Amino acid sequence: MSLVTSKQMLLDAQKGGYAVGAFNVENMEMLKAVVAAAEELQAPVMLQTTPSTVRYGTLETFKAMAAAEAEKATVPVCLHLDHGSSYELVLNALRAGYTSVMFDGSHADFEENIRLTKQAADAAKACGIPVEGELGKVGGKEDDLDVEEDTNTDPNQAKEFVERTGITSLAVAIGTAHGFYANKPVLDKERITQVKKLVSIPLVLHGASGLSDEDVRECVQRGMCKVNFATELRVVYTDAGKKLLLEDPDLFDPKKLGVAGMEAVKEFVKGRMLVCGCDHKAR
């Protein structure tokens, strides 16, 4: 089927009490592996690219690859811009054919975040594309984003933020961090419940790489409808290539490295989809 937007799949997840897995892809092999995992588990899926990834491969290239794989798939596949860092990048993603976008204004103060996010949301709405915003700060480092301290989302501010921006999903900070955790994270899971009481749109969990299955499941049970995975995929993909080269140092065929990476990523993604509960939820 053709690429779909994230709107219905996230509303279905919200109603069904599960989360859609959203996986950051860096190349053709990772993209194909994520779609293959979704096919095997009959799960809806979101493919994500960050600003540095699209600088590496371009918006148009990733859209073309995603569209080609989605066309062959029997499950809903969405292509999402993750952590859109500027209004211009959001516009370019919309022009390129992305079917979901995020504008990340969480680095700004509350009023400026509202102004910038609404600008992006208005542009996407005119194209019929859903928009994710972020309120509060997720710590750690991913892509161009580097935050030293966590600032968890204020539930009352979340309600105002959603109403004034017109976004269709909201990334909520609860103590997670991008990248891997140096120490066991202290998650304010009750914050999800508090935000959910005041906000009607689907909630999003960033920084899930390295969280335990139990933590992810509880976050989903409390109301997270989309869970992002990035760093873990990079590690799984790269480690598969390293292992193959250790076994055969004379290997020079990049296709064999790609196949090893794809298989490893596919199996990892299937495991994360099962934790999110989105398996057999394709419609």
**Which residue ranges are tagged as binding site?**
83, 104, 134, 178-179, 206-209, 228-231
β-strands 20-24, 224-229 pairing: parallel
Cβ neighbours of residue 20 closer than 8 Å, sequence gap 6 or more: 6, 9, 10, 13, 43, 44, 45, 46, 225, 226, 227, 276, 278
CB atoms inside a 10 Å sphere around CB 121: 23
DSSP string of 71-88, one letter each residue: HH-SS-EEEEEEEE-SHH
Measured CA distances, 183 to 135, 136, 140, 176 (Å) = 24, 21, 12, 11
Residue for token pair 């092999």: 29
Give the β-pairing of 203-205 and 169-172: parallel
The count of residues in the chain is: 283
Of 82, 150, 215, 279, which is the active-site residue? Answer: 82
Contacts of 37 (CB under 8 A, 6+ apart): 43, 45, 265, 266, 267, 269, 270, 273
Instruction: Tell me how far apart the alpha carbons of residues 177 and 273 are, in angstroms, rounded to a whole number.
Output: 20
CA distance 192 to 203: 8
Four-point Cα dihedral 41, 212, 52, 148, nearest 10? 160
The question of whether 82 is a catalytic residue gets the answer: yes
* Binding-site residues for Zn(2+): 83, 104, 134, 178, 206
Q: Is the distance from CB of 196 to CB of 169 less than 8 angstroms?
A: no
Query: Annotated active-site positions, please?
Result: 82
